[in-house]
Structure 1
Amino acid sequence: MYNGLLHAHSGIRYIALALMLIAILQGLIGWLTNKQFGKVHKRIINLNMGVFVAQLVIGITLYIISSKVLFDPAMFKSTLLRFYTLEHPLMMLIASIIVIHYSCKAKANSSYHTHKKLFISHTIALIIIVASIPWPFREQLGAGWF
């Protein structure tokens, strides 16, 4: 069960990143061209938010059952344990809250200013996400591409 959830969580991240980039580009184009926030925009935002909620649920489940999560003062001395116990979950929770909050606000508001808010908030969330993903080239974290 753990390996299946871990692979799902790792694989869905690419979908989440792709949707995030689409939402950012859509927000930038809408902001610069003063477009009204319409149905197509809402669909992308809803899909993006849905993927983030799914990632959040899988991530919380992994957090509960993972052997890489340790609640002990010694956790701060280990890069691997500190990352998976504190840094990754906290940063991803913050990014998810930003995405979900501004996506919900965008559904209620349909002015062209919505594009600017979504562009800025999603860009901040993307920076947080990219910084806190355990990429394979971060060798001390021991993660793979999937």
Structure 2
Amino acid sequence: MYQGLLHLHNVGRWVVIILLLAALIKSISGLAGDKAFTSGDKKVGLFLMIAAHIMLLIGLYQWFAGPWGLQNIQAQGMKTVMQDSVFRFWAVEHIAGMLVGIILITIGRGSAKKNITDKAKHRRSFWFYTIAFILIIATVPWPFREVARPLFPGMGH
């Protein structure tokens, strides 16, 4: 089950990134054209939030049940985990960055429900989604990153 969820989590990242880009484009378009905050804007934000929360649940399962999160901290000790860049990434940095990113997505989505002007909704969404995008992109274990090598064992130094 862990391996299947790992693959689902890997594919799900693209869903979140694509929806996040779509939400950013819609908010930029709304700001640039001084457009109304439409039901389409709300739906993209809702689908983004749902996808991000599903990835969070899958990621939390992996962190607790998989070898790179809690089990690694328990086996190695927090001091050892924090001294190793790969262990630290998986035990702390990835989950913290994604959690903050998902919180920002949720707050950005909540902006659509506020009783504020449409321009303010687009502006708030833009900033929350932009910061979330930067955090998520920075803490994804891309195959070219050193921290991703345990997931892609064929990649040497």
TM interval, short-chain normalised: over 0.9
Answer yes or no: is the 8 Å Cα contact 2:111–2:124 preserved in 1.
no
- 1-side partners of 2:147 and 2:127: how far apart? 32
- Which residue type is aligned with residue 143 of structure 2? P
Match of 2:132 in 1: 125
Q: Deviations over 1:32-86 (max 9, x none)?
A: 1111111111111111111001011111111101111222121112222110100
- 2-side partners of 1:47 and 1:120: how far apart? 18
| 2:33 aligned with 1:33 | yes
Percent of residue pairs bearing the same amino acid type: 30
Q: Deviations over 1:110-129 (max 9, x none)?
A: 62221111111101110001
| 2:141 aligned with 1:134 | yes
Of 77, 83, 86 in structure 2, the residue corresponding to residue 77 of structure 1 is 83
Bigger shift: 99-108 or 79-88?
A: 99-108
Provide the aligned C-alpha RMSD in A. Answer: 1.3
Of 113, 121, 134 in structure 2, the residue corresponding to residue 114 of structure 1 is 121
Structure 1: gaps of 5 or more residues: none
TM-score under structure 1 length normalisation: 0.93
Q: If you compute each CA radius of gyration, which structure gives the higher value, 1 or 2?
A: 2
Bigger shift: 44-53 or 102-111?
A: 102-111
Answer yes or no: is the 8 Å Cα contact 2:20–2:129 preserved in 1.
yes
| 2:5 aligned with 1:2 | no
TM-score under structure 2 length normalisation: 0.87
Bigger shift: 98-107 or 22-31?
A: 98-107
Structure 2: gaps of 5 or more residues: 153-157
- Which residue type is aligned with residue 145 of structure 2? R
Bigger shift: 120-129 or 109-118?
A: 109-118
Match of 1:90 in 2: 96
Match of 1:20 in 2: 20
- Which residue type is aligned with residue 85 of structure 1? A
- Residue 106 of structure 1 deviates from its aligned partner by 1.3
